[in-house]
Amino acid sequence: MKKILIVCLLLLALPLLPARGMTYTEEIKTANDFIALLEENGLIIHDQEIDWPVQMIADRMADHIKDPVYSFKIHVIRDRSVNAFTIPDGHIFVNLGTLLFAKDMDELSAVIGHEMGHSQLRHIPESLDAQKKISTASILGVLAGAILSSKNPEAGSAMIFSSIGGSENIRLAYSRQYEYDADNFSKSILTSSGIDPASMVRFLVRLRSFSGSSAAPEYLLTHPYTENRIVNMREDQGNPKPDRNYWLLFASVVGLTLPEGEAITRSAQMPEPYRSLALGLLQNRLGNNKEALALLSGIQEPIAYAYRGLTLYSLGEKAEAYPFLKDYAKSGRTKIALADILQERGDFQGAIEALTPFQSQNRRVDYTLGTLYEKTSKPLLAHVSYARYFYETKKYPSSLYHIDKALESEKDLPVDMVTELKSMRKSIQKNQQEKQ
């Protein structure tokens, strides 16, 4: 089953779509629908200590692309397989497993550069004429099935086979060429961005050892054999050069996402102060606040200051926590603590401003914003926030009530907010029909 999932994920990183080119409007809708599905299942990570450094890599390389087609948006997926993929509208997804597998920021940059190549070269929307029998929805269905199977293997397998069954017009030769093209794009953009292009070879060499050889000949695969991609890159692999940015990202992934046993094992292989940072984040997540505070107190890094503030807040020492949170809180969980302190101080608007960037990403944020909008006499926005909260918690009758109340004043809401509310209502109605 694991091998099937890997193959399907690799397949979906490539252009297998309808027989006509997608408009940009269609790209946006397709991407939004897919992202909404992942969000609904809690598969996109919103810890800024994790996703922001990865986004910064893409932003750095995008500055060296002449006439970029998209504003590239990176999403980190809560999936432990080593993979990354692209969907329409410039959205790039990097699995958590890839962050754990990369040995330095250059290797991670190479992976992201490859996916940016698929987007910038418009491999997905411009390959549609080559595909006659496969729809956008079915392709995204395969990808969603592969990802969701980590939560429910049986359901994921059913989605995979129902989506790809009967499809006979997959042009694998196009897919292989696109992989080479994306590798070459990555090599070029890495070089122009001042990033070691050998990092891609280094990553592929280690990936080959990790994944083992395949018994299938290359013409049956959507991605070329790793050996052939290594030869195509024509670079010596060099050695990893993990720097401060890498260790901060790695410590954040270990401390904020991994099970306790694995986090402890992985942190033992990290240099100080990053080992203590990872363990401090872990202990905070586990609610062992005194242990967390002892680990974080000696670390001179913004993330350590932020979580030191969160730990003090959890210990009830809000006055001591406030300076740390005010200056260093970046993630949803630290901003929630800051907003609570601001509320107690009567600064409702400050609390709203702290939480607004995290709306629709955290159910506690959405509920708190609802109460804050009520306190500041903004009932329309309160309805929107409550609609999100009840939708995320699957209390659909309550969500529908607030959706309908908000849409009574549709003209006073931003277009994207109206679209979001109508999409939630459609999803709820579909869910209710399926239960009848």
In the block, tokens 């794009």 appear at 185
Q: Which of 153-157, 177-181, 402-406 has the lowest mean pLDDT?
A: 153-157
Q: Where do the domains of the chain lie? A: 2-233, 359-429
Per-residue model confidence (pLDDT) at position 124: 66
Q: Which residue has the tokens 């979001």?
A: 420
Nearest to 90 by CA among 113, 47, 122, 54: 122
User: 154: pLDDT confidence band, cut at 50, 70 and 90?
Assistant: very low
pLDDT given at position 127: 53
Q: Rounded to an integer, what distance in angstroms lies between the CA atom of residue 302 and that of residue 243?
A: 16
* Contact call for residues 165 and 5 (beta carbons, < 8 A): no
Q: Give 245 or 432, the one with higher predicted confidence.
A: 245
125 pLDDT band, cuts 50/70/90, is low
Rg (CA), the chain: 23
pLDDT at 326: 97
Residue 133 is predicted with a pLDDT of 43
Q: Where are the beta strands (DSSP E) in 206-295?
A: none
The pLDDT assigned to 274 comes to 98
Q: How many CB atoms lie within 10 A of CB 327?
A: 12
Percent of the chain with pLDDT over 70: 76
Closest C-alpha to 122, from 232, 6, 27, 18: 27
Pinpoint the alpha helices (H) of 121-233: 136-148, 153-164, 172-192, 198-211, 226-233
Within a 10 A sphere around the Cβ of 24, how many other Cβ atoms? 12
Paired sense of beta strands 73-77 and 91-95, if any: parallel
The pLDDT, as a whole number, for residue 126 is: 59
pLDDT tens digits for 45-85? 999 999 999 999 999 999 998 888 888 999 999 988 888 88
Mean pLDDT computed over 255-262 = 96
- What is the rounded CA–CA span in Å between residue 27 and residue 402? 29
Q: Hey, what's the torsion of the CAs at 346, 348, 351, 353, to 10 degrees?
A: -140
The 10s digit of each residue's pLDDT in 81-90 is 888 888 888 8
**Adjacency order of strands within the sheet including 91-95:** 44-45, 73-77, 91-95, 84-87
Closest CA to 85 of 46, 53, 43, 49: 43
Burial class (CB in 10 A: 0-12, 13-18, 19+), 44: middle
Quote the CA–CA distance of 285 and 270 in Å, as a whole number. Answer: 19
Among 88-92, 360-364, 418-422, the range of highest mean pLDDT:
418-422
**Residue 20 pLDDT > 60:** no
pLDDT at 346: 95
Mean pLDDT across the chain, nearest whole number?
81
Query: What pLDDT, on the 0 to 100 scale, is given for residue 229?
Result: 56
Ranked by mean pLDDT, the top range of 80-89, 151-160, 189-198, 317-326 is 317-326
Considering the chain, what percentage of its residues have pLDDT values greater than 90?
51
- The predicted-structure confidence for 263-289, as pLDDT tens digits, reads as follows 999 999 999 999 999 999 999 999 999
- What per-residue confidence (pLDDT) applies to 400? 96
Three-state secondary structure string covering 28-85: HHHHHHHHHHHHHCCCEECCHHHHHHHHHHHHHHHCCCCCCCCCCEEEEECCCCCCEE
User: What pLDDT score was predicted for residue 50?
Assistant: 95
Residue whose structure tokens are 């083992």: 212
- Output the pLDDT for position 183: 80
- Check whether 41 has a pLDDT greater than 50: yes
Distance of CA 209 to the CA centre of its chain: 26
- Cβ distance 169 to 129 under 8 Å? no
The CA distance from 225 to 272, in Å, is: 38
pLDDT at 390: 95
- Indicate the helix (H) or strand (E) that contains 276: helix 274-286
In this predicted structure, the answer to whether residue 19 has a pLDDT above a threshold of 50 is no
User: Quick one: average pLDDT of 397-415?
Assistant: 96
DSSP 3-state percent helix, strand, coil across the chain (nearest 5): 70, 5, 30
Residue 26, Cβ density class (10 Å: 0-12 exposed, 13-18 middle, ≥19 buried): middle
